[in-house]
Amino acid sequence: ESEDSTDSHTADSVGGSSLAESYYRVGVLGGAGVGKTTLVRQFLASDEQRGKENVGEVDRDLKKNTVSVLLDGDESLLEFLDDCEGEDLSLYPDAYAHPNDRDGDCPSQSDVTPFQCDAYTVVFALNDVCSLREGDLTLCHLREDLGCDRAIFLVGNKSDLVRQRHVSVEDACKLAHKYDCKYIETSAELGHRTDELLVGILRHIRRRLSTSAR
């Protein structure tokens, strides 16, 4: 994929695609304390250093948990649905469909399907074996119980805690492979590989949609 190819079709694609078509939701799942909030904050962070190189132009809306990403000449809006109020989104796939008693804290959309997310990230902490087990249960639930066919990224977070590491790459990869997920290790705290994850999620969503449209 050539970086330069973006210029030639930027105007066409931005003008030609409606916002709705390029608005994607990403569910952020995982046990408490694994770094979900930090990861989303990192996606939305506005430091100059990130973004420009890998992600093109990035506009963020902190209040709405959305980030606008210009990638390969096309702009997409990604909304991150963090596991709010400690609820496990994977166990309640339509949790955001019926935000009955929430005071507008969570995104409410009327036209949602059981899988209202276009992709999921299942986050665990590399220094916490239990969180990997939790990830296993979540993946099993998503793929096997609910039949989810969306892109799922298994994210091993806190890669900076090298000495406290308790989960091997092999074990994590094995799990990712078992449930047809991509595996990536990040440090949400340091912003390490978080851009790569953001881009990977968007590419995956686009690829999936373009193949399913054929």
Query: Contact region for ligand GDP (CB under 6 A) — 67-75, 92-100, 170-178, 185-193?
Result: 185-193
Out of 84, 146, 161, 199, the only residue in the binding site for ligand GDP (CB under 6 A) is 161
- Should residue 131 be labelled a site residue for ligand GDP when binding is judged by CB under 6 A? no
Q: For ligand GDP, which is the closer residue by CB, 124 or 179? A: 124
Contact call for residues 172 and 128 (beta carbons, < 8 A): no
Distance, in Å, from the CA atom of 117 to the CA atom of 101, rounded to the nearest integer, reads 21
CB-based closest residue to ligand GDP: 35
CA distance 156 to 119: 17
Instruction: Find the shortest distance in angstroms from Cβ 77 to ligand GDP.
Output: 22
Tell me the closest approach of the beta carbon of residue 135 to ligand GDP, in angstroms.
12
- How far apart (Å, rounded) are the C-alpha atoms in residues 170 and 30? 20
| β-bridge partners, 75 | 70
One-character DSSP codes across 39-91: HHHHHH---TTSSHHHHSSEEEETTTTEEEEEETTEEEEEEEEE-GGG--TTT
> What is the separation, in whole angstroms, between the first and last Cα of the chain?
21
Position 34 contacts ligand GDP (CB under 6 A): yes
Residue number, 13 or 37, with CB nearest to ligand GDP = 37
User: For residue 67, how many other CB atoms are within 10 A of its CB?
Assistant: 25
| Among the listed residues 32, 62, 129, 169, the single contact to ligand GDP using CB under 6 A | 32
Output the smallest distance, CB 61 to ligand GDP, in A: 19
Q: In angstroms, what is the minimal distance from the CB of 99 to ligand GDP?
A: 19
By the rule CB under 6 A, 158 interacts with ligand GDP: yes
Which member of 78, 89, 152, 188 binds ligand GDP (CB under 6 A)? 188
Answer for which of 75, 88, 171, 189 binds ligand GDP (CB under 6 A) is 189
Question: How does 31-61 read in b/e, with b if 16+ C-beta sit within 10 Å?
Answer: beebbbebbbbbbbbeeeebbeeebbebebe
* Binding track over 35-64 against ligand GDP, x by CB under 6 A: xxxx--------------------------
Residues that bind ligand GDP (CB under 6 A): 30, 32-38, 157-158, 160-161, 187-189
